[in-house]
């Protein structure tokens, strides 16, 4: 089998199974594990997968700008937002990061919801300005025009000054072993600080982000208290439940 055929097989299997193992690929392709390892390294160098011990896992499927992401999975995001809303009650202080899923949550805030929201998201802050009872605290910092979020050390310093009851965090990638990861180092550092600044952490993530990884670590998977997703009955979510994480 030619190298190009092997690489195509690996990517198709990765897309179907959400992971590939060197030993299994060696048997399937009838080549040595060293050959498979070199093939995986070649694909990783081209940004087509994340190489891990003994195999590989996919990248996050969501490398789009904020505006583009806001048009994707809109029904799924609204379903997750409804679930997340049930966790809110008057008197809370809540951190909301700059994801499109958290923006969907803010869009359905009832007018009587009396909470304090701390956010680095420009669209969320703008939306909450019109809310009659919810107080909004914007973190400040340098605004990234692509993600429409504030970041950098000013944002991190401000977040370290608060202790929130709850943090809702949108994510690029979730993995039961590799944890929560992101594509951008600065944004990942902000998310890490949000995790450290809240008593409970809930993440909103569609099923296609599960079992994937990106280069920059946000937190361990066990730092999450709740995973809110579009389809909690998917079999691979059992790995997260076994770690004591509530999946809804």
DSSP string, 166-205: EEEEE-SEEETTTEEEES-HHHHHHHHHHHHTEEEEEEE-
* Composition of the chain by helix, strand, coil, percent to 5: 40, 25, 35
The pLDDT of residue 68 is above 80: no
Task: Phi first, then psi: give them for residue 72, nearest 5 degrees.
Answer: -100, 145
Distances 80 to 93, 108, 223 between C-alpha atoms, Å: 20, 11, 20
Q: Which helix (H) or strand (E) holds 142?
A: strand 142-144
List, in order of start, the domains of the chain with CATH numbers: 3-57 (1.10.10), 66-247 (3.40.50.1360)
Instruction: Say yes or no to pLDDT of 192 above 80.
Output: yes
* 95-126 pLDDT, tens digit each: 999 989 999 999 999 999 999 999 999 999 99
3-state secondary structure 100-111: HHHHHHHHCCCC
- Whether 62 shows a pLDDT value over 80: the answer reads no
Average pLDDT over residues 37-54: 87
Distance between CA atoms of residues 82 and 77, nearest Å: 9
Query: Which of 13-22, 162-171, 174-183, 199-208 has the weakest average pLDDT?
Result: 13-22
CA nearest to 161, candidates 186, 139, 136: 139
CA distance 17 to 33: 19
| Least confidently predicted of 56-60, 84-88, 214-218, 242-246 | 56-60
Query: What's the confidence (pLDDT) of residue 61?
Result: 67
Give the predicted TM-score (pTM) of the model.
0.82
């Amino acid at each position: 089998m030619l190298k190009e055929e092997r690489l195509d097989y690996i990517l198709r299997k990765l897309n179907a199974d959400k992971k590939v193992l060197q030993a299994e690929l060696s048997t399937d392709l009838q080549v040595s594990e060293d050959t498979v390892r070199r093939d995986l390294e070649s694909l990783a160098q081209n940004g087509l997968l994340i190489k891990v011990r003994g195999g590989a896992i996919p990248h996050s499927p969501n490398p789009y700008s904020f505006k583009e992401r806001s048009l994707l999975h809109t029904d799924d995001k609204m379903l997750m937002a409804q679930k997340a809303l049930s966790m809110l009650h008057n008197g809370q202080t809540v951190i909301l990061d700059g994801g499109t899923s958290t923006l969907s949550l803010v869009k359905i805030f009832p007018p009587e919801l009396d909470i304090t929201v701390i956010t680095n998201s420009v669209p969320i802050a703008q939306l909450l300005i019109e809310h009659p009872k919810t107080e909004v605290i914007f973190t400040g910092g340098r605004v990234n025009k692509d993600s429409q979020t504030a970041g950098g050390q000013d944002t991190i310093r401000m977040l370290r000054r608060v202790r929130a009851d709850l943090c809702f965090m949108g994510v690029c990638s979730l993995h039961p072993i590799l944890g929560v990861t992101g594509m951008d180092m600065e944004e990942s550092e902000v998310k890490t600080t949000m995790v450290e600044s809240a008593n409970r952490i809930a993440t909103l993530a569609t099923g296609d982000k599960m079992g994937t990884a990106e280069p920059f670590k946000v937190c361990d998977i066990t730092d999450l208290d709740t995973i809110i997703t579009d389809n909690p009955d998917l079999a691979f979510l059992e790995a997260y439940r076994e770690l004591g994480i509530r999946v809804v």
